[in-house]
Structure 1
Amino acid sequence: MSIFLSLLLLFFTVPVSPSHTPDRYTKSLPSFHHKPREYFELAPPLPSDFLVPSCSRQILRHSFANTINSPPFSIRSSPPSDCPSPWSHVALEFRAECRGEQYDRIAGLWLGGAELLRTSTAEPTKCGIFWKVRKDITRYSSLLSRYDLNLTMMLENIVNRVSTGVYHVTVNFLYYKYNTVKLPSMIPDPKLYRVNTGQGLEGLYEPPADFIIPISDRGDKGFWFRIDGESDFHSKSIPIPRNTYRAVLECMLVNKKVHRIGFGVSEGISYWLVNANLHVWVDHKSRKVQAKPVVYNTPRLKIKRKEDFKLLDGSFKVEAERKAVFVGWVKSSLGNFTTVFSLNYKLKNSLSFQNNGAYKLVKQKIKATREVKVLNDLGAVISRVGVRRRYPFVVITLTLPGPEEEEEYDSDGWMLVKDHSVLSGAATTRQSFSYRDDFRCYSRTVKASDGKLISDDTTPACFSSV
């Protein structure tokens, strides 16, 4: 009998194309600041941000210079002896700094082949930049407690006469025991927060899985699969225990046989870096569980294309949509639970050319919704997690005649470009982030002008619906 293990494939893929000759070299804008500048990202605080770590360890410290086509950096990892597992929280802190001329790179961090972090670097200035990223990695506790695994980082960077920036990276693990800390009145109990809330679909990993099986490449060029096109397909065979009652990955299982899980990218061009982690929970009171898929509806990607051109002026338009619904039940010693997963993804993109191609306008909208519900044997919803995301994007490029091919780009700002160097420019950015669930609200709005932060408003209380 085929058995259905919830819940969904959770991995983040980023198209990237590092090469020996990048398609653009941009010289950083002249800076009037002599000190390195800090970059930061809008994101909700982690539950552990309100706690004091029981202990911390520097796991990795390395400088990534001319690392293109080189193997990744790897070092042995082990849990701390002064605060062993179990932990209430574990946080990964990624710090990086760079100075000089460089452009963005994709980086990956793996523990025993399981991806902990996928990120991209920021473009530095002559005076230098630095930034910090924190991620809750409590879900990887089964790996973090082991002594026989390597921590591996891949960051393919290019250093030459033009691109001079070297990325200096430090990675720390922060461990938190089940201690009691007085929190502000508007901040919920972190234990309640960790079980019931979290950014995106974090709640699906509670409690941490018994096993984590990497679905990844060999690791000599990073543990991600490199997918070079739509016809390129990579897979890996893995054994899954018969008493598995939950898994964070869509999979069809038959007894204790080896199962092959593969990845491809629809309408993909070279190249994408893809891998995944299979989190597996087993029923320790049963040698075998019962399960069955009820609905498996995953129609093909719908794409509409339209173009209209006269000489150099015209437009391209693309619309795409994908929907999917999966329903299945699992009966174990914990009970009989039904999982319902739905996905809806829409994209609209248009590219227009005017004035003999001198004026270019790009408009793009992406909407993505995901929902996971778990029902008991009476049909009552006992868990529900939903995520809605929107990605609007507008870029205007105007090419003006000049004695040395000067170009001016107008989006939310402008740049004056000569050859490969940015001579001058200005920009204003406003970004807002809002989060709300049954237990808390959080919103933050920042505004920057010419690289300076001019306003930063944070609201941790609920005043209106998001």
Structure 2
Amino acid sequence: MHPKHWSIFFAVLAIYSATSASASSPDIFPIRRGLTLPNLTLEHIDPTLPPVLPTQTPKCSVIALQQDFADTVGAPPASANYTQPPDCPAPWTRVVLELSVSASDLQKDRIAAVWVDGVEVLRTTTPLPMAPGAFWKVTKDITRYTAAIRRLSENNGTVSMMLENSNTVLPGVYSANVTLHFYRGAIATAVKPSAATGHATIQELYKEPADLIIPVTSNNGFYGSGFWSRIESDSQIATSLIRIPQNTYRAVLEIFVSYHADDEFWFGNPLRSSYLEGAANLSTPRSNGGFRQVYATIDDKFVGGHIPFMVLYPGSINPYFWSPVAAIGAFNMPSYDLDMTPFLGMLLDGQPHKFGLGVHDSQRYWLVGANLHIWVDRWSDATQAGLINYNAPPPKMNRNAEWRNQDGQSEIDAEGLVRFIGWVSSSKGNLTTVVQQKIKFKSQIEVQNRGAVKQIEVNNKHRMMVALMKGNQALSRVQLMMDAPMQIQTSTVNAVSGAVFQKTRLYHQLVEMVNLSEGQAVSIATLTDRQDAEGSALMHDGVPVWGGGATRSAYRFKDDSTCYLRTVNTAGGIVRLDTTTASCVSVADQ
């Protein structure tokens, strides 16, 4: 530990003793060199539903990329040419991606992504390694991307990974292996395939993977700063020219996003008036409030959007909360599906069209990318389509703020409803797709005691319905309902040498329900993913010097035939409890 940090460390002991000395206080441990580290759990885990991995041995496993990420800030993605084993050709029943990473030493948390021939298949974050030798594994069912993987294997394509790391301050090097596992024949799994992603998504409607996947990404992905595009403000839209086959009968745009710099804590941004900013010298780039919407356009026409789920990065809030357990969605960041089928009438003329990605109310910066999943009619050279109904008013916003110097409160309420209806005529008949999205978002922020106490309460509700109609008959319909509440309470005390001692309590939850109807058959799947955390940290220049945290993660998934529960309790960097059960008897809903 640097001599200055030693003085900070001892000075804060008195603060900690006065503010949090109790038998229930989380274990406290340092991150800096020079202090004795306890026996930390070196394996970082994601305590959610394990992917639906087949219980049998894969037909083949291919290490697609191996790379050490040392000083890679500003460097292009690491890429490797891919060769498919001749005894393991398509078709495959299941394809699973395994990303294994280890950290040689202490390091910051980083954003990372994996692309298959430019198609993004995983966006993830690294943990914040608290000790040398930390390691973790991310496993994801990527059967959805079979079209891109088949193209990869047939054309000796390229697998790429982006992880910008720096050794200027901390010495840790990330060593990564990307492995693809291929399965053939009947699949036996412990959990039903409907739970393949661990989180219910709108893709439940699409039983078969797309015939073609077109990346909607940066044109300079291999040589520049990755395939993702960088959004610096709400006025910027990342655009790509895309031409789709004229015999397309279905299209879904899948959007990946992550947020950084001034918007890393967008959900906790206070709303301040310009008058108070000038009068009280409170001007800050994070003063525009906690509402963001990721959206897509086609030829400058709005075609749908999502308020992102609030993923907490491993270095955020209190870094000791996420050692060794990952926050909800941190290891496998969610993507967001928008059904583009109602807009095929704009796209089937054989000409390139401009696809745009933007973020309403955003600040610097967001990394965005997308995949356009295309289903083609193999029995015809061209399909016909048209837009029947387009109703997309901007969200209704209610913004209120009251501030007196550093103290005050702000509130943002947003509601929105969009509805798109379009028809497509193909060999499957004349079918109509109805897409409806409803959002309800509320952010409340209160600051007291001259800025020393801050409370954040956010609730993000999303409802989506996609129905496939033939005349007045519904062939299939999927309804997705998501609630994502969050509460954060933080109090801070200034320590010596510019350090800040903070105590934090956190509650975060994701509740999803998917209702899938096909004819007379109806299936329902629900999940509840909840985390509660409490702890303290001494921060200096944004880096944790010393602290501790305790986190309880409770995950429950249930469908018509399966129930899976897992509870993981961690404290002081150690897993204290890790239990799973396949029974929902006498277990209350989270």
User: Structure 1 length as normaliser, TM-score?
Assistant: 0.85
Separation of aligned partners in 2, 1:128 and 1:38: 9
Alpha-carbon offset, residue 85 of structure 1: 0.6
CA contact (8 A) 1:42 1:444 kept: yes
Q: State how many pairs are aligned.
A: 434
SS, match of residue 118 in structure 1: strand
Separation of aligned partners in 1, 2:202 and 2:218: 25
Alpha-carbon offset, residue 208 of structure 1: 1.8
Alpha-carbon offset, residue 405 of structure 1: 4.7
CA contact (8 A) 1:95 1:170 kept: yes
Letter in 2 for 1:454: R
Check 1:420–1:244 CA distance in 2 against 1; reply closer, same or farther (3 A cut): closer
Separation of aligned partners in 1, 2:74 and 2:231: 17
Separation of aligned partners in 2, 1:233 and 1:209: 26
Q: What is the CA RMSD across the aligned residues, in angstroms?
A: 2.8
Alignment correspondent of 1:44: 49
SS, match of residue 142 in structure 1: helix
Check 1:417–1:258 CA distance in 2 against 1; reply closer, same or farther (3 A cut): closer
Letter in 1 for 2:133: G
Matched, 1:309 2:314: no
Separation of aligned partners in 2, 1:404 and 1:258: 55
Alpha-carbon offset, residue 104 of structure 1: 1.6
Alpha-carbon offset, residue 66 of structure 1: 1.1
Alpha-carbon offset, residue 289 of structure 1: 1.9
Separation of aligned partners in 2, 1:296 and 1:122: 43
Q: How does 1:61-460 map to 2 (within 5 A)?
A: 61-145=66-150, 146-160=154-168, 162-179=169-186, 181=188, 187-188=191-192, 190=193, 199-218=200-219, 219=221, 220-249=224-253, 250=340, 251=343, 252-400=346-494, 405-411=499-505, 412-417=534-539, 422-460=544-582
Separation of aligned partners in 2, 1:459 and 1:339: 39
Alpha-carbon offset, residue 27 of structure 1: 7.1
Q: Which runs of 5+ in 1 are unaligned?
A: 1-25
Separation of aligned partners in 1, 2:419 and 2:560: 25
Identify the range of structure 1 (347-356 vs 219-228) with the bigger mean alpha-carbon deviation: 347-356
SS, match of residue 445 in structure 1: strand
CA contact (8 A) 1:100 1:126 kept: yes
SS, match of residue 351 in structure 1: strand
CA contact (8 A) 1:406 1:416 kept: yes
1:51-96 CA-to-partner distances (Å, cap 9, x unmatched) read 4211101111101111111111111123222211100000000111
Letter in 1 for 2:245: P
Check 1:118–1:355 CA distance in 2 against 1; reply closer, same or farther (3 A cut): same
Letter in 2 for 1:450: G
Alignment correspondent of 2:8: none
Identify the range of structure 1 (240-249 vs 292-301) with the bigger mean alpha-carbon deviation: 292-301
1:336-380 CA-to-partner distances (Å, cap 9, x unmatched) read 333222222333223322222222222222223333232344513
Q: Which runs of 5+ in 2 are unaligned?
A: 1-28, 254-339, 506-533
Alpha-carbon offset, residue 178 of structure 1: 0.9
Alpha-carbon offset, residue 132 of structure 1: 0.7
Separation of aligned partners in 1, 2:541 and 2:231: 33
- Runs (4+) of structure 1 moved beyond 6 Å? none
Alignment correspondent of 2:21: none
CA contact (8 A) 2:202 2:478 kept: no
Check 1:209–1:404 CA distance in 2 against 1; reply closer, same or farther (3 A cut): closer
* Greater fraction helix: 2
1:92-127 CA-to-partner distances (Å, cap 9, x unmatched) read 001111143322211111111111111111100123
Letter in 1 for 2:31: S
User: Structure 2 length as normaliser, TM-score?
Assistant: 0.68
Separation of aligned partners in 1, 2:198 and 2:453: 46
CA contact (8 A) 1:316 1:352 kept: yes
Letter in 2 for 1:168: S
CA contact (8 A) 1:298 1:324 kept: yes
SS, match of residue 167 in structure 2: coil
Letter in 2 for 1:341: V
